[in-house]
Structure 1
Amino acid sequence: MSRPDIDPTLPLMLGYLCEPPLHSQAATEKLKILLKAFARREGYALGTVYVEHLPTAPAAFEALLEAIRRYEVDAVVVPTKTHLEPLGEPSKMQRLTRETNARVLVAESL
């Protein structure tokens, strides 16, 4: 996962968010920028932010799990807990922590 905008001296953090059906692309991009700033403040380099779209769910979550394993990522950031624990759905947070060693950081101040 080598990208020119990622500082290789910092540990890698991945992001995850669920895009609501009526959410604009601009709003999603704003969340990605805020997640990147959060990662930087916490001493990480933010890699890919996996965006879940309802029509293809849970494809982004499955890709996130695979990337965590492949790149031995130790942290994932989400804007709020509801991105991993939506109402009426089994907890992705539990699955992520059960199947990987990654910590989940919640940037609730977003």
Structure 2
Amino acid sequence: MDGRVAPAQPAARPFVVGYVCEQLLLGPADLERTKDRLHEYAAAADFHLGSIYVEHDVDGRVGFQALMAAVERYDVRHVLVPGLAHVQPIGRESKKAHIEHFTQATVQVAGSP
């Protein structure tokens, strides 16, 4: 060994995903603006944003199940949502409570960074 110290590795950015309920938006243009807002928030917070899961189904299950599979499969730290209304109740439990109870991820509202 020559006494040199290796430079510190930069910390990995936390991996996050997004979740949006399409029914709460005003149409395709609003969906794109919402996705852009999630991307902007993630960049400002120094997160690595993976997929944004969009709930197209009225009963709110298909997109949510895909989201939960991704959260469980990858080391997801946060689920970004445009507002808490996007993770409101499924049956007797909120989607937010379900995510935070069954995974290591927390739900975070993508407000102003």
* TM-score of the alignment, normalized to the shorter chain, above 0.5: yes
The aligned runs of 1:69-84 (5 Å cut-off) are 69-84=72-87
Native 8 Å contact 1:79 1:108 kept in 2: yes
Matched, 1:93 2:92: no
Larger radius of gyration: 2
Q: Which residue of 2 aligns with 1:6?
A: none
Change (3 A) 1:103 1:21: closer
Q: Which residue of 2 aligns with 1:28?
A: 31
Mapped to 1, the partners of 2:62 and 2:24 lie a distance apart of: 16
- Indicate the SS of the match to 2:19: strand
Would you identify which runs of 4 or more consecutive aligned residues in structure 1 move more than 4 Å? 86-89
- Indicate the SS of the match to 1:10: coil
Q: Which residue of 1 aligns with 2:43?
A: 40
Please, what TM-score do these two structures have when normalized by structure 2?
0.78
- What stretches of structure 1 of length at least 5 have no aligned partner? 1-8
- Indicate the SS of the match to 1:51: strand
Please, what TM-score do these two structures have when normalized by structure 1?
0.80
- What stretches of structure 2 of length at least 5 have no aligned partner? 1-11
Aligned pairs, number: 101
Deviation at 1:88, TM superposition (A): 7.9
Deviation at 1:55, TM superposition (A): 3.9
